[in-house]
Amino acid sequence: MGLSLTGVKHTFNASFTLSLDMKVDNGITILFGPSGCGKTSALRLIAGLLMPDEGRIQFDEVVLFDAQSSVTIPVHERHVGFMFQHPSLFPHMTVEANIGYGAGPGDEAEKWIAQFQLTDLRSRYPRELSGGEMQRVALARSLAARPRLLLLDEPFSALDERRRRAFQTDLLRLKEETDIPILLVTHNLNEAFSLADRLIVLDEGRIVESYDAISLFSHPQRRVTAELLGVENLMPCEVKDITDTVMIVSIEACEVQVEPDTRFRAGDRIWLGIRAVDVRLVVTDEPRENEVTATIHRIIPSVASNQILLSVDGSTQDYDLIMDLDDHHCTQHMIRPGGRIRVALKRSKVFLCS
């Protein structure tokens, strides 16, 4: 059954109310959204550090909060592990003592010391640890108390890239080896993509969309979700024709074939989206589906690949499409500003949103 929040609301001031209806099952659920949208407050509501004004919070068969029946389980009885953005270790305690604080019966502390490879650090104090080591200790301490649910509030924010990857590996291994539901807050798209089994997108205190992470990343159903999830290409379009096998929409410069979407009808004005990585350079004479000819408007270099800004033939815009292309292919195919190229929008990668 997992964790469920039903009709949960908390008003902070006249201009901001956090409103939540959501479920968290086993695996890693990412609560994703921009800064200030209410992500940390959602965790505090679940943990009991903040009281809702309305609604019901339940984990399996246990009601943690119910405004209607005046049920409020105190923080220490919720069995929720909460790892804050910055590790809140006791500075006067060793690693071993920090992990053992509040640990369950038996060898629970020893289990997590070994699990997170902290044996050699057990006698050290927090001031003697790196940022990544402190995060591992904080996570081990949370788990040693045998929580039924683990809440993580932006645990990677203070880590460099190498330690960030190592800690992500720790979390993925934890998911595989336990059945503890994990709810992790982030506004970092790469973190969400790397870790999520399920994605809950929060914006301005409201849940915008919530479902399987792969589906949500590849085919968001709303424009605001697509923008939050970093989709580079979002273009206004109109539905022109629909059959059992294809839907045809028109953007300013051309028509595009997409997979049928039963939410829309001919004449609807909606949005067409495709990620920059899915805009493909055509280098053969053979025509491709949804092929267009475009002029290269600008090239923006980056470490992994370059963003190629394209103006589609017939468009009145400076650029309509963004394509990702690495240095090798840019050199091989002489990609230069002002050059003309053919690109294809793969039908299975194009999506429509309202």
Are residues 217 and 154 located together in one domain of the fold? yes
Q: Name residues whose C-beta falls within 8 Å of residue 63's C-beta, 6 or more positions apart in sequence.
A: 56, 57, 69, 71, 73
Has residue 118 been placed in a domain?
yes
The per-residue pLDDT of the chain, averaged, comes to 91
Count the Cβ atoms, other than its own, within 10 Å of residue 12.
12
Are residues 74 and 131 located together in one domain of the fold? yes
The whole-number pLDDT of residue 105 equals: 66
Are residues 136 and 214 located together in one domain of the fold? yes
- 3-state DSSP call for residue 219? coil
Has residue 12 been placed in a domain?
yes
Are residues 271 and 196 located together in one domain of the fold? no
Domain limits for position 145: 3-223
Give pLDDT tens digits for 61-71.
Answer: 999 999 999 99
Domain-ending residue, one of 223, 257, 284 = 223
Count the Cβ atoms, other than its own, within 10 Å of residue 315.
19
Are residues 247 and 209 located together in one domain of the fold? no
CATH assignment at residue 116:
3.40.50.300
Are residues 259 and 185 located together in one domain of the fold? no
Are residues 56 and 183 located together in one domain of the fold? yes
Q: Name residues whose C-beta falls within 8 Å of residue 41's C-beta, 6 or more positions apart in sequence.
A: 10, 12, 18, 50
The whole-number pLDDT of residue 87 equals: 81
Domains contained in the chain, number: 2
Are residues 244 and 210 located together in one domain of the fold? no
Are residues 127 and 59 located together in one domain of the fold? yes
* Tens-digit pLDDT string for the chain (354 aa): 789 999 999 999 888 999 999 999 999 999 999 989 999 999 999 999 999 999 999 999 999 999 999 999 999 999 999 998 888 899 999 999 999 887 866 677 888 898 888 999 999 999 999 888 888 899 889 888 889 999 999 988 878 888 888 889 988 998 998 889 999 999 888 889 999 999 999 999 999 999 889 889 999 999 999 999 999 999 999 999 999 899 999 988 789 999 999 999 999 999 999 999 999 999 988 888 899 999 999 999 987 789 999 999 988 887 889 999 999 999 999 999 999 999 999 899 999 999
Has residue 228 been placed in a domain?
no
Domain-ending residue, one of 223, 248, 271 = 223
Has residue 159 been placed in a domain?
yes
Are residues 278 and 184 located together in one domain of the fold? no
Are residues 289 and 219 located together in one domain of the fold? no
Are residues 88 and 25 located together in one domain of the fold? yes
